[in-house]
Amino acid sequence: MIKFLNTLSGQKEEFIPIKNKKVGIFVCGPTVYDWPHIGHARTYVIFDVIVKYLRYKGYKVKFVMNITDIDDKIIDRAKEEKKTWKEVAEFYEKDFMKDIAELGINSVDKFARATEHTEQIIKQIKVLIEKGYAYQTEDGIYFDISKFDDYGKLSKRTVEQAEDAVSRIDESINKRNKGDFVLWRLSKEGEPAWDFETGITNSAGRPGWHIEDTAISEKYLGQQYEIHGGGQDLIFPHHEAEIAQAEAASGEKPFVKYWLHSGFLTINGQKMSKSLKNFITIKDILKGYLPEAVRFMILSTHYRSPIDYKEDLIKQSEAGIQRVLELVNKLELIKKSGPEEKKVEIDEIIKNVQMEFNAKMDDDFNTPEAVAALFNFIRIVNSFIDNQNLDRKSAEKAIGVLKEIDEVFGILPKKESGIPEKIFELVQNREKLRKEKAWLEADKVRDEVKSLGYSIEDTPYGPLVKKS
Ligand code: AMP
C-alpha cells in the first residue's frame, strides 16, 4: 500500500487511483526563457522517480508535462536578445530537453506546449464566462475568486504573500477582487497574440499562466485525474488557481485527487532561483560530475525537505554512485569467472532489500531510507566478495536486484559515462600481456591506465577497474 502526503488534506493518505490501476499525473513544466538550474533538476528528478516507482508497482501511468512557451518573461527575454519570442522559446525548450535527457528524466509521455493548445484554453475560458466565473476588463479576462467558494482549499489562503512568485501576480486596476487572476491577457502592440472570439473588441491576446495547465490536462487526462505535482512555490497562487478554474468549468470535484509538492534546493539557505542569481545550471554541474551523481544527491534527501547545496554534497554523491558501480563491476567479473560452488545464501538477502526498498518507497516516497537499504545490501554483498564467498549464480542474482532498483532510481552510471571503452581495451591488453608473461609491458599498460585517471585491482576473479 502506497501512502503519501497529500497537500490538499495535509495528511498522509493511501493512494487509490480513481479507476483501477490507471494513474494520470501532471507536473508543471518549465517556462522556457533561460537555462535550467539544479533547483529545477530537483523537482523533475523527484517526479521522474515517483512515476518510475508507480510503474514498477504495476500502475499504468500517463505522465503529462506542459511547456510554458508564451509568457511575459519570454517576451522580455526576446526583447533583450533581439529575437522573436518563438526563437527564444524554441531555443530554451531544446536546451531543457537536452538537460533532462542527460539526467535520465525519461518518464514523461507527453510534453504539451501552451501555444499548441490555445483552442482548448479558449474553450475553457468561454465555459467560465458562460458560467459566470470570469469577466472581461480593458486589459483581459479574469477569474472572479469571490464566485468560487472553495478558493483557498489547497493552500489555506486566498491572498498573496511577499515570498510568492511576484512576477506572476496579475496586477490590474480593473480587477473586481485583489486576488483575481488573469485567464486571457490582451496583447499590447507588437506582442504575440491569438484571436479570441468573445464579442469584445480588440480581443487578440494570450493565455494566462494558470489556464494553460487545466486546458492541457483536461485534453490529455480528463476533467479529473490522480496526481498533480510541482515545487512548493507553485501551491499558491498557481495550483490554487488551477483548482478554481477546473472545478468551476467542469463542475466535478475534486479536479485532482492528490497534490504532491517537492521542497526547494537552496544555497546558503536561500531558494536557488534565477532572480536571486544564486543558481548553478544543470549544464555546469554536468561538466564536473556524472548525471547519476546529481540524481543520487537529490534522492539522498526526502522530497519534501530542503536540500542545501554545497559542493561537498555532489562530491559525496559521486563517491556513492562509484561504490554502486564498483560492486556491479565486481559482480560481473564473478558472474563470468567466480566459483560455481554456492557458499552463501543470497536469496534471503535479496528478498530483504526488495522488501525494504518497497516499504520505504511506499511510505511517502522515502528515497533516503530506500537508498540506505540499498547501501546496506551493498555492504553485505561486498563482505561476501571480500571473503571469496560469492558464487556465479548469486552474483547474477545480486546484479538483478541492483538493476531492478536502478530502474526506479537511475543512479548506476552507464558504462560509457563511467569508464571509457578505451580503458577497458587497455585492461584487456594488459591481461593478454600477463598471460604471455610479458610483465614489463603489462606494467607499462597499467601505468598508462593510471595516467588516464583509473586504477586496476587484480581480484581472484580478474582485473577490476576503478576511477582513481
Ligand atoms: P519555473 O521555471 O520557475 O516555473 O520552475 C519550474 C519548476 O521547477 C517548478 O515546479 C518549480 O517549483 C521548480 N523549481 C524552481 N526552482 C526550484 C528550486 N530551487 N528547488 C526546487 N524546485 C524548484
pLDDT tens digits, one per residue of 146-173:
999 999 999 999 887 766 654 455 778 8
Interatomic CA distance for residues 27 and 66, integer angstroms: 7
Q: Where are the alpha helices (DSSP H) in 411-456?
A: 415-418, 421-435, 439-451
Q: Which residue has the higher pLDDT, 190 or 170?
A: 190
Which pLDDT score is estimated for 420? 83
Q: What is the mean pLDDT of the chain?
A: 93
Say if ligand 1 is within 6 A of residue 46 CB. Answer: no
Q: Is the model more confident about 203 or about 331?
A: 331
Percent of the chain past pLDDT 70, that is, above it, reads 96
CB 230 within 8 A of CB 262: yes
pLDDT per residue over 398-414, tens digit each?
999 999 999 999 999 98
pLDDT at 452 over 90: yes
Cα(198) to centroid(ligand 1), Å: 34
> Is 40 a pocket residue for ligand 1 (Cβ < 6 Å)?
yes
Q: Where are the beta strands (DSSP E) in 208-305?
A: 225-231, 256-262, 265-267, 270-271
Cβ burial, residue 223 (10 Å; 0-12/13-18/19+)? middle
How high is the pLDDT of residue 415? 60
Does ligand 1 come within 6 angstroms of the Cβ of 230?
Answer: yes
Q: What is the pTM of this model?
A: 0.94
Q: How confident is the model at residue 416 (pLDDT cuts 50, 70, 90)?
A: low
Rounded alpha-carbon distances, angstroms, from residue 8 to 11, 156, 189, 227, 412: 8, 9, 41, 11, 35
Q: Over the stretch 294-352, which tens digit does the pLDDT of each residue have?
A: 999 999 999 999 999 999 999 999 999 999 999 999 999 999 999 999 989 999 999 99
Mean pLDDT of 23-48: 98
Alpha-carbon span 264 to 40, nearest angstrom: 9
Which amino acid residue places its CA nearest to atom 17 of ligand 1?
Answer: 39
Residue 417: the pLDDT is 53
Domain 3-271, architecture per CATH: 3-Layer(aba) Sandwich (3.40)
- pLDDT value of position 372: 98
pLDDT at 167: 46
Answer yes or no: is the C-beta of 231 below 6 A from any ligand 1 atom.
Answer: yes
Average pLDDT over residues 118-135: 96
* Ligand 1 center from residue 342 Cα (angstroms): 50
Tell me the C-alpha to C-alpha distance, in Å, between residue 184 and each of 169, 175, 375. Answer: 14, 13, 51
What number is the average pLDDT over the span 110-134?
A: 96
Q: How far apart are CA 48 and CA 44, in angstroms?
A: 6
Using the mean position of ligand 1's atoms as its centre, give its distance from the Cα of residue 376 in Å: 33
Lowest-confidence range among 47-51, 70-74, 227-231, 369-373? Answer: 70-74
pLDDT of 235 strictly over 50: yes
Angle between the N-to-C axes of helices 291-299 and 392-409, in degrees from 0 to 180, rounded to the nearest 10:
80
Rounded to an integer, what distance in angstroms lies between the CA atom of residue 253 and that of residue 363? 26
Ligand 1 centroid to residue 80 C-alpha, Å: 23
Of 26, 40, 65, 262, which is best to mutate to test ligand 1, by the most ligand atoms within 8 angstroms of its C-beta? 40
- Domain locations along the chain: 3-271, 289-409, 421-467
Buried (b) or exposed (e) across 413-428, using 16+ Cβ within 10 A? beeeebbeeebeebbe
Q: How confident is the model at residue 203 (pLDDT cuts 50, 70, 90)?
A: low
DSSP strands (E only) in 107-220: 110-113, 134-136, 140-143, 181-186, 205-207
The three three-digit cell numbers of residue 397, written as one number = 542474482
Q: What is the CATH number of domain 289-409?
A: 1.20.120.640
